[in-house]
Amino acid sequence: MGSLILCHKHYARQPYEITRIHRKIFTIEELCYYLCNNIYLIDDTIINERLFAWLDKYLKLEEMAENLRKLMKKQAPIEQFITTILTSSSIYTPEELNQIQNSLGKLKNQHRVERLKYKADDLLECGAIETAILVYQSILYGEKEKDAPMSGTFYGNVYACLGCAYGRLFLYQEAAKMYEAAFQICEEEDMLVAYLYACSRYMPEDDYKRMIKKSIIHKNADLIFRQKTEKIKFTIPHRISTDVLEEWKGQYRRNFRVKGREADYEIV
């Protein structure tokens, strides 16, 4: 029989909102769950005085808030803030805390650009596409990251992830450029297939056909992506409910903002 976890009695009247992913948190249990499952997203946009004041005022966790403020004065690493919150909440067993601390230890030992990529990957998965794109761009073009001791394959994968992010916003020309850069570095078939798919979505049909005729590799990759497309068609329901369609439209409207660029047509 499983152990019983006694939740804290306070439920915040005013939630703590993580604005970049539109997540609202009402309890210490929700906060701990978010921290444990989004380790790479945790930074000073989340761990800050606003959070401490919320813990103090709405959850009545005055001692925890004060301990976090002391860590802030010492300029402690983010890992220490996470550990303090999880430990003070009394939700986790010693074994679970040990596992979490091991994960935080691995995070601390990773190079900054590795952590940035994991952060961007998590943001992309959460639907915060604009923010993910900015993080991927900071890895590829940021002044501080140029001398990072990472392999070419690492940067090739970053280009591919950036291509995926652009693709989710239907910015296929930008996506194609990123996938092409990724393939030039990694020479992986999936990257070439993704590149050709993106090209097929923005290029005039005749131009696309002329492009793939120039190379047998492109012809083979084009065949693969068309086969995959046909398979996907069978997994999509013939009729999509109005609620699902409206949800997709809402998500698209929220996400289609990259460096001030917005959709130049209306979704109807």
- pLDDT tens digits along 159-193: 999 999 999 999 999 999 999 999 999 999 889 98
Q: Which amino acid is at 183?
A: F
CATH number assigned to the domain comprising residue 213: 1.25.40.10
Q: Which of 109, 144, 168 is the last residue of a domain?
A: 109
- The mean pLDDT of 79-84, rounded to a whole number, is 89
CA dist 82 and 77 (Å) reads 9
The arithmetic mean of pLDDT across residues 210-225, rounded, is: 83
Provide, rounded to the nearest whole percent, the portion of the chain with pLDDT above 70: 81
CA pair distance 1, 20, nearest whole angstrom: 39
- Note the pLDDT of residue 213: 85
Q: Which residue has the higher pLDDT, 148 or 266?
A: 148
**Average pLDDT of the chain to the nearest whole number:** 81
Residues 134 and 236 in one domain: yes
Cα gap 190→195, rounded to integer Å: 9
The predicted structure's pLDDT at residue 262: 40
Angstrom distance (rounded) from CA 66 to CA 75: 14
Instruction: Look at residue 226 and tell me whether its pLDDT is greater than 80.
Output: no
Residue-level pLDDT at 146: 59
Q: Give the least confident one: 40-44, 153-157, 174-178.
A: 40-44
Say if 104 falls within a structural domain.
yes
Model confidence band, residue 49 (pLDDT cutoffs 50, 70, 90): very high
Domain count within the chain = 2
In degrees and rounded to multiples of 5, residue 232 shows phi and psi of -65, -35
What is the model's pLDDT at position 102? 80
| CA dist., res. 230 & res. 68, Å (int) | 54
Q: What is the pLDDT of residue 183?
A: 94
Which of the listed residues 109, 144, 164 is the one where a domain comes to its end? 109
pLDDT digits (tens, 9 = 90+) for 89-142: 878 888 888 888 887 877 777 788 888 898 898 888 878 898 899 999 999 987
Do 117 and 166 lie in one domain? The reply is: yes
Section 207-228 average pLDDT: 83
Cα–Cα distance measured from residue 61 to residue 46, given in angstroms and rounded to the nearest whole number: 17
100 and 167 both lie in a single domain: no
Same domain for 210 and 224, yes or no, is yes
Give the CA angle between residues 204, 209, 212 to the nearest 5°.
125
Domain edge (last residue) among 109, 140, 156: 109
Distance separating alpha carbons of residues 101 and 85, to the nearest angstrom: 12
Report how far residue 196's alpha carbon sits from residue 89's, in angstroms, rounded to the nearest whole number. Answer: 50
pLDDT > 80? residue 246:
no
Give whole-number Cα distances, 74 to 51, 67, 70, 106, in Å: 17, 11, 6, 22
Q: Which two tokens stand for residue 98?
A: 């040990």
